[in-house]
């Protein structure tokens, strides 16, 4: 249990830890008020059983005098009213404290979600290549909530109810030590035995729930992302059946947690009833004064029991939830206490690094994690500024890896990326990326307006409409937007641009790359999925850039790079030939073979 508290404390930031310490003080005060609330009933019940206490008890005699020496009946009413008001105040304070505790734990959800998302976004691009996006989404949107609603909230309630239980038990020990000790042994031992048998299954179910939750997210993402194929092949029922198993496992585990958390209460109500009968008999046999002598003690114990049993039950439920959620807590703690100290890069980096003379990769090597062979092996190439170059080669030659290194998404194991002779290091990558526009094969579009997609990532109020229109004109998109879309640049295009053609989506991608007016444009097989007519139209838009920008193109179809100033031919992570289209065709057999295959 101590390890769980340590992990939870580690997950809190400095401000949350300070709040937690302050709330602990509130909880202690709440426990003291609970004890005083129970104790306030004792004088009232004592006078009810024996009115003579008003004169024989010094404290009651002083209170009687201080209230103007009212009649016995009036004084009894005042005692009852005072006890009621004190109990009411303690209850209101307890409600306020639990509200503060609940608010504190609920606000941990956005706090931890934001920090976990920031942790993910701070990771290098290569880190994401070995992660499933659904698993990452599940951790942020679901597991954080499970940890907060499970171990964190349960730990907060464990402390609160633990303090309440401790103060009440100490009070009862002072009042009637043997009975209090017997109650602690009886009820504490019963709950302890039940937890001993339940802890193993709770931990196993918690681990199983993490896996089933991950499966639910992955299956749902597959079905929604591939809905066209799912509908075409009639796979709706198959995906429902795949989703059913983890969904039912998740539900069964949650149901089992509820049953285990509530089960002891049914058993211990019977034990408590029997214990109360034995307690009454014991008081009658051991105390003088008959029934009148035991009424105050019995009343206080009954009142305390009404507070104790729910508290003990809440303690057990909290411990059960902590045990059930421990695997998720360990996973989240591991995620947020990793070795990475990076923070997400943003616009607060330095000024952009312009490209004025040349871009170079010098003896660059790179191997993906777990790969047997390097993707790039001492690669060297030079790209002059304001030229258009193509990078071609068979599948697996290293073209996309080369571009990812140029983009600063991957970092070379050895060798150097240079811009105008200046090495681009990790601390200056963001400055270099400001000078680069990127057009991938599959354009990522959000369910927003044309303008918002072109100015991707820019708050709507900060979008430069003139820059949007300029970029759209260069990408041959403006006429389509103005003539065919009802709201022009404010037309919402649907999720992933479902209402647009492939060529239109590609032009939005080009316009997006041009929006910030970068020095370098990178096309990563950006036209490979287009028909030849659409490809020609897109390439015409690229050619109109002339020699105003440096354009780097990866292509499978050699017709795409035919007019490039220079073409680099790659094989097995190296450049094996370079020159114009005609030069490579005349002197390189491998390139001629590609030309023949492209015909």
| H or E element at residue 406 | helix 399-406
Query: Residue 321 in contact with residue 254, Cβ under 8 Å?
Result: no
Q: What is the pLDDT of residue 340?
A: 46
Q: What is the pLDDT of residue 341?
A: 47
Q: What is the pLDDT of residue 594?
A: 82
Q: What is the pLDDT of residue 371?
A: 86
Query: Residue 251 in contact with residue 216, Cβ under 8 Å?
Result: no
Mark residue 354 as left, alpha or beta (left: phi above 0; alpha: psi -120 to 50; beta: remaining): beta
List, in order of start, the domains of the chain with CATH numbers: 2-121+129-209+264-336 (1.20.1560.10), 349-435+520-529+550-599 (3.40.50.300), 442-517 (3.40.50.300)
Which residues in the chain come in under a pLDDT of 70? 49, 176, 178-179, 265-307, 338-349, 528-531, 534, 538, 541, 546, 597-599
Residue 90 in 3-state DSSP?
A: helix
Helix axes 58-66, 41-49, angle to 10 degrees: 100
The DSSP 8-state label assigned to residue 449 in this structure reads B
Q: What is the pLDDT of residue 303?
A: 60
Backbone angles phi, psi at 416, to 5 degrees: -140, 140
Q: What is the pLDDT of residue 288?
A: 58
Rounded-to-integer distance, Cα 455 and Cα 515, Å? 6
Q: What is the pLDDT of residue 339?
A: 42
Nearest Cα neighbor of 126 from 373, 343, 411 is 411
Q: What is the pLDDT of residue 276?
A: 65
Q: Give me the sheet containing 422-423, strands edge to edge.
A: 376-384, 358-366, 414-419, 422-423
CB atoms within 10 A of CB 476: 18
Rounded-to-integer distance, Cα 381 and Cα 574, Å? 9
**Angle formed at CA 127 by CA 370 and CA 521, multiple of 5 degrees:** 110
CB atoms within 10 A of CB 241: 10
Q: What is the pLDDT of residue 248?
A: 92
Structure tokens at 36: 């005083």
Nearest Cα neighbor of 203 from 276, 270, 253, 133 is 253
CB atoms within 10 A of CB 80: 17
What lies within 8 Å, CB to CB, of 557 at 6+ separation is: 527, 528, 535, 598
Q: What is the pLDDT of residue 463?
A: 92
Q: Give the N- to C-terminal CA distance of the chain in Å, as an integer.
A: 70
Q: What is the pLDDT of residue 520?
A: 93
Q: What is the pLDDT of residue 503?
A: 81
Q: What is the pLDDT of residue 468?
A: 93
């Amino acid at each position: 249990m101590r390890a769980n508290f340590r992990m939870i404390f580690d997950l809190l930031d400095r401000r949350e830890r300070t709040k937690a310490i302050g709330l602990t003080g509130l909880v202690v005060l709440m426990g003291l008020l609970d004890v005083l609330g129970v104790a306030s009933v004792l004088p009232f019940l004592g006078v009810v059983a024996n009115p003579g206490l008003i004169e024989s008890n010094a404290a009651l005699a002083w209170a009687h005098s201080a209230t103007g020496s009212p009649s016995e009946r009036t004084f009894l009413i005042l005692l009852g009213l005072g006890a009621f008001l004190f109990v009411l105040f303690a209850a209101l304070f307890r409600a306020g404290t639990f509200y503060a505790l609940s608010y504190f734990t609920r606000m941990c959800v956005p706090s931890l979600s934001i920090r976990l998302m920031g942790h993910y976004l701070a990771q290098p691009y290569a880190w994401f290549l070995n992660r499933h996006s659904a698993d990452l989404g599940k951790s942020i949107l679901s597991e954080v909530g499970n940890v907060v609603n499970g171990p964190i909230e349960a730990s907060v309630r464990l402390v609160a109810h633990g303090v309440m239980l401790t103060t009440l038990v100490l009070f009862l020990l002072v009042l009637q030590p043997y009975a209090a000790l017997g109650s602690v042994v009886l009820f504490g031992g019963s709950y302890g035995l039940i937890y001993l048998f339940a802890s193993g299954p709770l931990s196993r179910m918690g681990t199983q729930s993490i896996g089933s939750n991950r499966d639910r997210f992955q299956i749902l993402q597959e079905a929604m992302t591939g809905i066209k194929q799912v509908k075409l092949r009639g796979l709706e029922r198959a995906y429902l059946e795949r989703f059913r198993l983890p969904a039912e496992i998740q539900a069964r585990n949650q149901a089992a947690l509820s049953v285990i958390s509530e089960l002891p209460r049914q058993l211990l109500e019977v034990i408590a009833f029997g214990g109360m009968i034995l307690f009454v008999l014991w008081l009658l046999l051991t105390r003088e004064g008959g029934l009148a002598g035991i009424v105050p003690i019995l009343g206080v114990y009954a009142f305390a029991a009404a507070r104790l049993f729910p508290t003990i039950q809440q303690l057990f439920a909290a411990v059960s939830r902590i045990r059930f959620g421990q695997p998720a807590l360990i996973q989240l703690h591991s995620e947020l206490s990793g070795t990475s100290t990076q923070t997400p890069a943003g616009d607060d980096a330095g000024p952009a690094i312009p490209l004025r003379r040349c871009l170079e990769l010098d003896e660059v090597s790179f191997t993906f994690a777990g790969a047997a062979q390097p993707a790039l092996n001492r690669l060297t190439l030079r790209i002059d500024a304001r030229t258009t170059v193509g990078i071609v080669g068979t599948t697996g030659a290293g073209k996309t890896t080369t571009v990812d290194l140029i983009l600063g998404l991957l970092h070379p194991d050895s060798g150097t990326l240079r811009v105008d002779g200046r090495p681009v290091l990790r601390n200056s990558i963001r400055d270099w990326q400001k000078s680069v526009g990127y057009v991938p094969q599959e354009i990522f579009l959000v369910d927003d307006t044309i303008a918002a997609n072109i100015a991707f990532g820019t708050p709507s109020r900060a979008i430069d409409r003139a820059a949007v229109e300029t970029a759209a004109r260069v990408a041959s998109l403006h006429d389509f937007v103005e003539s065919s879309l009802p709201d022009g640049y404010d037309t919402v295009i649907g999720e992933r641009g479902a209402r647009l053609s492939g060529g239109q989506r590609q032009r939005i991608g080009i316009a997006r790359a041009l929006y910030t007016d970068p020095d370098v444009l990178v096309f990563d097989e950006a036209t490979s999925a287009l028909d030849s007519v659409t490809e020609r139209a897109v390439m015409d838009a690229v050619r109109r850039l002339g020699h105003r920008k440096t354009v780097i193109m990866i292509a499978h179809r050699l017709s795409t790079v035919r007019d490039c100033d220079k073409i680099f031919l790659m094989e097995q992570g190296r450049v094996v030939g370079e020159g114009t289209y005609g030069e490579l065709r005349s002197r390189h057999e491998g390139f001629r073979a590609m030309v023949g295959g492209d015909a």
